[in-house]
Chains A and B, each alone.
Chain A
């Protein structure tokens, strides 16, 4: 979405514009309708031409201080007043304040006899008087083609209409001329030939029994303008055109993180959760807990004081609130605090573009930080896959430009191919969480994968996703010798492991005791050998001592003998 390249423009005299005040249209036309020139609004019956031009006048009178004249060729002024009262426009009051003047021009062929040359001076004078009396800057002629049914001389009429437009230009009033759509041309009487400055086409299309209103700027001389078909909405607040396009990819990014509300999932996402203002896709087969994930995400952000909107396309708010209660998530509390807004509609209520419009409108009004769409798969019922993809692209762009984190849930079909498709949005989103059924041993369990998560470290592991009474949990899957085990198989395996540990423990203690016993036996034997050694040692020592003793005594004796012999000499 492009809002303001105008500030960089050089100081050339640009075409002055007259803002319509219609939401979004001024953006498409880069400022409004060409000021002081006529604009043709064409479209089939019921496409909103009268309302469009009336809004142009009322906004001009109320907001831009430009009084306006409404010349109605079809509706009586009273009828008009009543018709637009539903939009909150008080034409009576505006007329009293001399901001708007309504004039009903009644043309009936049966009452008029043509007797020669004539012109439309009456209309000129009438219009001129009306313009001058309130100082009008804006004029609506709705629809001037009625003149063709009232007057027969086409040559005169055409010349006069051409003169009228020239005259209005001279008067410097911004004019809207409405025209009914013709078979081959834009309008039945070829008014587009005379109005060459700006042509806007309104269309009302019905596809698959669902209607969409479309606006397109066919021509805008002297100005750049959006050329796409823009859907528009008529509701209690009048017309809003929302040019949700995906032209630019320049929105700001944030490195702030938001928790998913499931601690285990945050851990898988680098420990902190998703990036703020990113887009997250949660896909999975039926009954895998996508809504529960979305619910706890919303719950978490509301707990952190962030405003959130939950767009439900499948369940009613009551139903979601009740169901989320079963996993200990109280959403009602957040609704009461004004933090959470539920918007539940059937996708078939309106066309895709209308959905986009109402979403963007609500987002602009409520200004949430988190938006959940649950599920986007149902939108396919009202459009083709490529249309849904285009819608989601524009929605993501819109939300990211407003720094809103968005979570989509999508139903994936059971085969692997469809899992990769996911309405073709998996390539658009920043993070993709996949919940899959893992079926084995006669039971189904949920496996959660982080398929992608841009710009952060994320786990490549499969986690078992458990929905328990106290909330959502991620359990590490058990990798046994037989592969990945989940659910009761995991529990069985865990039990088996526990048993074997016990057995091993038991075995270890028995061996320990035997060692102890052996040790005491050996120690006893060592003690007796020691005794034996000591007695042998003693025995040996004894003879040794006797020998020593004998030796010393014999020495003594010999000495004695020697002395004695000496004495005898």
Chain B
């Protein structure tokens, strides 16, 4: 399992003005179409909106099936936003950019 490494400092304590760091975890299932689309879509969104301010960890649930119960997985692909709070869960192939941004709490530019 890849550990996510924090890029730069964690700045969620500094109020709303300061740029926040996003810790994201994406659960996928192998090389299914939905998974590949989700990875690509998410990477594009992150690069566009929160470049250098995010950590993305991609987990293939097939590789470690016990994680499914631990993480309460049902629908996949699932994106978990761990920080900033509150924690959010997004499901789907991340093709609806507006909804992804809304879910992650990133203002559209």
User: How many residue-residue contacts, CB under 8 A, span A and B?
Assistant: 101
Residues on A with C-beta less than 8 A from B103 are: 113, 115
Residues on A with C-beta less than 8 A from B1 are: none
Asked if B68 contacts A125 (CB within 8 A), the reply is yes
Residues on B with C-beta less than 8 A from A122 are: 27, 61, 68, 73-76, 78
Give the contacts of A105-136 with B (CB-CB under 8 A): 105-107, 111-123, 125-126, 128-130
Asked if B76 contacts A113 (CB within 8 A), the reply is no
Residues on A with C-beta less than 8 A from B73 are: 122-123, 125-126
Range, interface on chain A: 20 to 34
Residues on B with C-beta less than 8 A from A147 are: 74
Chain A: CB-nearest residue to B78: A122
Asked if A126 contacts B96 (CB within 8 A), the reply is no
CA distance A106 to B41 in the complex (A): 27
Asked if A113 contacts B93 (CB within 8 A), the reply is no
Whether a CB of chain B sits under 8 angstroms from the CB of A103 is yes
- Contact A125-B92, Cβ < 8 Å, known A118-B75, A119-B34, A120-B75: no
Range, interface on chain B: 20 to 34
Residues on A with C-beta less than 8 A from B27 are: 122
Asked if B72 contacts A106 (CB within 8 A), the reply is yes
CA distance A122 to B80 in the complex (A): 14
Asked if A112 contacts B61 (CB within 8 A), the reply is no
Of B69, B74, B88, most A-chain CB atoms within 10 Å: B74
Would you give the shortest CB distance from A155 to chain B, in whole angstroms?
13
Whether a CB of chain B sits under 8 angstroms from the CB of A218 is no
Whether a CB of chain B sits under 8 angstroms from the CB of A413 is no
Partner of A113, one of B68, B74, B89: B89
Asked if B92 contacts A117 (CB within 8 A), the reply is yes
Asked if A125 contacts B62 (CB within 8 A), the reply is yes
Asked if B99 contacts A113 (CB within 8 A), the reply is yes
Asked if A118 contacts B68 (CB within 8 A), the reply is no
Give the contacts of A65-103 with B (CB-CB under 8 A): 103
Identify the A interface with B (CB < 8 A). Answer: 103, 105-107, 111-123, 125-126, 128-130, 147, 150-151
Beyond A119-B34, A125-B68, A130-B69, 15 extra complex contacts between A and B, CB < 8 Å: A113-B91, A113-B103, A114-B99, A115-B79, A115-B91, A115-B95, A116-B41, A116-B99, A118-B34, A118-B91, A119-B75, A122-B73, A125-B73, A129-B68, A151-B75
Identify the B interface with A (CB < 8 A). Answer: 27, 29, 32, 34, 37-38, 41, 61-62, 65-66, 68-69, 72-79, 88-96, 99-100, 102-103
11 contacts between A and B (CB under 8 A): A112-B91, A114-B91, A115-B94, A116-B93, A118-B91, A120-B75, A121-B29, A126-B65, A129-B66, A129-B68, A151-B74
